[in-house]
Amino acid sequence: MDRHHRIRELAEMVTSAPGFTRAIGTRVESAEPGHVVMSLGKNADLLQANGFFHGGVIAGLADHAGGGAVTSAMAPGRFAVTVNLQVSFLAPAKGEELIARARAIQVGNTIGVAQVDVASKADGVETPCAVAIVTLRAVAMPGRTND
């Protein structure tokens, strides 16, 4: 199995496991070393009072995509857990879908950093709604390797 396939398989495993990521409907659009794209469809339970995607949902998607980008660039058998998440909201996310594009900008033996651009998609047009910097720590993957 090649590295790209293993990375995609790992990302799919994480989004399909029980928990927050699966509960909100996160989808993996693409995954390759250092880059992950994830999306999330509109659901009434994910919106704030004015009908926009809730900021916490946007932050959660950015966090997960950033973690995927950094983990995909780490040594096999390691995965990234969040140390810090900084999100700047740019505009209300009023589309029918969120798209998070994450890029690992630095990955070391212990700490990795990703930049995540989040857009809201409406009628095929993407509008930037947030940008995030995610700092993550490498830990051993319990009972599984991604090599």
Domains of the chain: 3-140 (3.10.129.10)
How many Cα atoms occupy the beta-carbon half-sphere of 81 within 13 Å?
6
**Are residues 6 and 147 in contact, defined by beta-carbon separation less than 8 angstroms?**
yes
Question: Is 17 or 58 the better-scoring residue by pLDDT?
Answer: 58
**Cα–Cα distance for residue pair 54/47, rounded to 1 Å:** 5
**Are residues 28 and 5 in contact, defined by beta-carbon separation less than 8 angstroms?**
no
CB atoms within 10 A of CB 121: 18
Rounded to an integer, the average pLDDT of 77-89 is: 96
Q: Is the pTM of this model over 0.85?
A: yes
**pLDDT value at residue 144:** 54
What contacts 24+ positions apart, CB below 8 Å, involve 14-17? 14/64, 14/68, 15/64
Q: Write the CA distances from 76 to 30, 93, 128, 140, integer angstroms.
A: 19, 35, 33, 9
Mean pLDDT computed over every residue of the chain:
90
Task: Supply the DSSP symbol for 44.
Answer: G
**pLDDT value at residue 23:** 84
How many Cα atoms occupy the beta-carbon half-sphere of 74 within 13 Å?
28
Question: In this model, does residue 146 exceed pLDDT 50?
Answer: no
